Structure 1
Amino acid sequence: MAPQHRQVAVIGSGPAGHTAAIYLARANLEPIVFEGMMANGFAPGGQLTTTTDVENFPGFPKGVMGGELMDLMRAQSENCGAVIETETITKIDTSSRPFKIWREGSEDQAEPTDTADALVIATGASARRMYLPGEDIYWQNGISACAVCDGAVPIFRNKPLVVIGGGDSAAEEAIYLTKYGSMVHVLVRRDQLRASKVMAKRLLAHPKVTVHFNVSPTDALGDGNLLNAVAFVNNVTKEVGKIEANGLFYAIGHDPANALVKGQVDLDEDGYIKTIPGSSETNVPGLFAAGDVQDKRYRQAVTSAGSGCMAALDAERFLSELESEAAETK
């Protein structure tokens, strides 16, 4: 069977992927969206499907559930004319155009299942977690990996909170959480912070922050509904204890979902896809990146949506130029 060809394909179904699809569909480019089924460990819709209340996405004054927000984005993509396939893409080849795409289960075949003149990669990233005993019970019921996303939730206000990590992100998140929590405890597994000197000094001097060195969390404790404490062990003395806390925030890094493009496109030192500043363009003409797979600084739903818009506009311009070049050679 001949590969199914589209002018443009979108791989990923988070805010970046669906926003790109909406713009591409409105430009009459009939995009296909491969939303993935448990790709990168998430259901279609990405990381937001694992969250509860989203209170910082514009247009929802009373907030919206993460899963509901992604359902609405998906419906809008379809209403605009995007074709959505619940398929996981396991292999692409960007060495020649059209780009070759293989769906899950077909990667060993010589012929691709799909081709496209342009590709938008919006595969996202996943926050690193420790999977402590009890974490499955209290995830999004006291445990989070995004202070900016969840810090203002009522269950954390004026309550003691815990941040795990020792880098700049951990310092930033801990200081951010002091706006809401009564006290923020930072657990650092080593005897010093990895954060920059400026951030470390700011963190250590903050009156609402206590930094615990040589400490690792061991258990997430609670009443079966909400987290209320974090058990720990001192890595030097082996002494154990617990900190009463209504919130546990991971700040130990993210892993961009770059497996599809690794070795085919330029990545930075942390594995994020490099894009030309101010655009979604990569070093491969016709290949565009949007969302958390190329954004290691902001990682917000709204910034992902914005970069999806950029990718769509960049792809539309690229395809228009391709069409003009083809017309000139006739």
Structure 2
Amino acid sequence: MVYKTVIIGTGPGGLTAAIYLARANMEPLVIEGPEPGGQLTTTTEVENFPGFPEGIMGPELMANMRHQAERFGAKFRTGWVRSVDMSKRPFTIFIEGAESIQAETIIVSTGASARYLGIPGERENVGRGVSTCATCDGFFFRGKKIIVIGGGDSAMEEAGFLTRFASEVVLVNRRTELRASKIMQDRARASDKISWSLDRTPLEVLSGPLGVTGLKVRNNASGEEEVIEADGIFIAIGHIPNTAFLEGQLETDSSGYLIVKPGTSQTNVPGVFACGDVQDNRYRQAITAAGSGCKAAIDCEYYLEDVQSNTADVQLKF
């Protein structure tokens, strides 16, 4: 069997694409990995997704989107995609421990994984005071003391955003020098809410029954351990787009994010589309991911219509 379209990955982008394609009777197959639903399944309350004035839990939002796609006929399969052969059509998708499947079109929605420090107490406290998204979770720390870990532009941006809510933001970096651009450093240093704890190596996230209580660090100059008390810790050391399994078959930027034709979801391989954070190194929001999933579904549908009418040297009709 050759599927009309296979969506690799879920999250708001992949599930939105599944909803649109299923409603168009395209019978999409969604391959969900070991973390179905993406990063939203690791968050608590989502208050900035339109249509939920009282907020909604991240896992519940993803479950609702999955059920909606299933209602219209989308099929789901759990598996780890090992590789994809895009050299000829139909495309072949190789799944770990299972038979390969073929598809006329593919939508890549594998997201980007936040980089973590790998220190004790970090992963256990995600959703209990540890976060990797200021715009997602900053609101919950109104009037609180927050730590931001990182030294690049994203850390400066996160720290600046969090000053809207926090009483104090402590920026922790393991080096004395920052990697951030001068303009971003200047903006951060201009804020009277941001304090600096440089040349400190994070060692452990400390927590109690109600969540995060602070961060244990090593003073690299003295070698002594210190504790910085805080109600929340935001880790801002970048993201890793989940594109390694594509083995360089799709064009990426210098950070590994998939490049799409401006205004569309089309990659450099005709018939292969991308949506969600895997092609978005700027916004990385649930709503922008969902919007890109809509685009990918419509682009995919148009592409197949063109192929069937033999008009497509397989270009999108835009």
TM-score (norm 1): 0.91
Deviations 1:136-159 (A, max 9, x none): 432211111111111101xx2211
- Structure 1's unaligned 5+ residue stretches are 107-111
Residue from 245, 254, 264 that aligns with 1:269: 254
User: Cα distance, 1:202 vs. partner?
Assistant: 0.5
Instruction: State whether residues 83 and 247 of structure 2, in contact with CA within 8 Å, keep that contact through their aligned partners in structure 1.
Output: no
Deviations 1:284-324 (A, max 9, x none): 00000111111111111111101101111111111111001
Deviations 1:66-86 (A, max 9, x none): 111110000000111211122
Residue from 229, 232, 241 that aligns with 1:244: 229
Instruction: State whether residues 137 and 224 of structure 1, in contact with CA within 8 Å, keep that contact through their aligned partners in structure 2.
Output: no
Distance, in Å, in 2 between the alignment partners of 1:56 and 1:262 is: 35
- Structure 2's unaligned 5+ residue stretches are 314-318
Instruction: State whether residues 152 and 179 of structure 2, in contact with CA within 8 Å, keep that contact through their aligned partners in structure 1.
Output: yes
Alignment partner of 1:78 is 2:75: no
Distance, in Å, in 1 between the alignment partners of 2:165 and 2:292 is: 29
Residue of structure 2 in register with 1:138 after alignment? 125
Q: Secondary structure at the match of 1:151?
A: helix
Once the two structures are superposed, the pairs formed by residues 298-317 of structure 1 within 5 Å of their partners are 298-317=283-302
Distance, in Å, in 1 between the alignment partners of 2:13 and 2:45 is: 19
The structure 1 segments of at least 4 consecutive aligned residues displaced by more than 6 Å after TM superposition are none
Q: Secondary structure at the match of 1:71?
A: helix
The sequence identity of aligned pairs, in percent, is 50
Residue from 152, 165, 168 that aligns with 2:139: 152
Residue from 225, 228, 239 that aligns with 1:254: 239
User: Cα distance, 1:113 vs. partner?
Assistant: 2.4
Instruction: State whether residues 137 and 225 of structure 1, in contact with CA within 8 Å, keep that contact through their aligned partners in structure 2.
Output: no
Deviations 1:37-59 (A, max 9, x none): x1xxxx21111111111111111
Alignment partner of 1:34 is 2:31: yes
User: Cα distance, 1:326 vs. partner?
Assistant: 7.5
Superposed CA RMSD in Å reads 1.6
Residue from 13, 18, 23 that aligns with 1:16: 13
User: Cα distance, 1:14 vs. partner?
Assistant: 0.7
AA partner of residue 126 (structure 2):
W
Distance, in Å, in 1 between the alignment partners of 2:28 and 2:206 is: 46
Question: Structure 1 residues 300-309 or 126-135, which shifts more?
Answer: 126-135
Residue of structure 1 in register with 2:110 after alignment? 123
TM-score (norm 2): 0.95
